Amino acid sequence: QVQLVESGGGLVQAGGSLRLGCAYSGRTLSTYTMAWFRQAPGKEREVVGAISWSYGTTYYAASVKGRFTISRENAKKLVYLQMNSLKPENTANYYCAAAAQISGEYYNPRIYESWGQGIQVTVSS
Spatial distance between the Cα atoms of 95 and 125, rounded to a whole number of angstroms: 23
Model confidence at 53, pLDDT cuts 50, 70, 90, reads confident
Half-sphere exposure of 81 (CA within 13 A, CB side): 30
Model confidence at 75, pLDDT cuts 50, 70, 90, reads confident
Q: Is 110 helix (H, G, I), strand (E, B) or coil?
A: helix
CA angle 106, 10, 6 (to 5 degrees): 45
Spatial distance between the Cα atoms of 101 and 120, rounded to a whole number of angstroms: 27
Residue 16: pLDDT above 90?
A: yes
Model confidence at 68, pLDDT cuts 50, 70, 90, reads very high
pLDDT single digits (tens) 27-39: 777 778 999 999 9
pLDDT at 101: 78
**58 strand-pairing partners:** 51
R_g of the chain, CA atoms, integer Å: 13
Distance between terminal CA atoms of the chain?
39
Spatial distance between the Cα atoms of 48 and 55, rounded to a whole number of angstroms: 19
